[in-house]
Structure 1
């Protein structure tokens, strides 16, 4: 995902992180300067959904404006059968039928 906060804020005439920080505080979202710096300058490590709602209200935007999917960044490969289980796991060997207990009559 690409975090697009600065561009969305700029489209709303907000050019400084401190201006956005003040606007968010007016809606009850008080953010520390360190967290605001992380939101403004790069990819946030974590963000509460409730906080994302406030950001969307303040910027009059949708979540899709702030979070841009980047499917090309996802790599997928089928794991090798041998790499599925740790080498410390013993192999499972099924027991032959007929040696278990009989069902009740």
Structure 2
């Protein structure tokens, strides 16, 4: 996912985390300045749905304005059109750990 908070804020003429915090206060959202700065400068690992709703209310935008889906292949550095078959790069089955002697575990009793 691509985090577009700065872009959504810029559409409301908000250019600094302190201005963003003031916009949040207008809708009753009162995160610390450090939390606002993290949202401003980084893609958050998690965002509570309540907070996301308040962010959207403060910026008069939608969730789609804040987050944009990126193709998974592009994020991994592979071309999108590349398709791989199962087991193409090695065995499709798990390999026993060294030292286990390759022995299988016994089945549980019935």
Tell me the TM-score normalised to structure 1 length: 0.72
Asked if 1 retains the 8 angstrom alpha-carbon contact of 2:12 and 2:59, the reply is yes
Which residue does the alignment assign to 1:53? Answer: 53
State how many pairs are aligned.
93
Which residue does the alignment assign to 1:10? Answer: 10
Which residue does the alignment assign to 2:94? Answer: 82
Instruction: Return 5+ residue gaps in structure 2 as ranges.
Output: none
Give yes or no for the alignment of 1:73 onto 2:75. yes
CA distance in 1, matches of 2:48, 2:39: 12
Which 4+ runs in 1 deviate beyond 4 A? 74-79
- Residue 30 of structure 2: SS of its match in structure 1? coil
What CA deviation, in whole Å up to 9, does each residue of 1:5-39 have, x standing for no partner? 00110011111111111111222211112111110
What CA deviation, in whole Å up to 9, does each residue of 1:38-87 have, x standing for no partner? 1001111221110000111111111111111111215797573115xx73
CA distance in 2, matches of 1:57, 1:6: 15
**Offset, 1:93:** 6.5
Instruction: Return 5+ residue gaps in structure 1 as ranges.
Output: 95-99, 101-105
Tell me the TM-score normalised to structure 2 length: 0.69
CA distance in 1, matches of 2:12, 2:25: 17
CA distance in 2, matches of 1:27, 1:11: 18
Which residue does the alignment assign to 2:62? Answer: 62
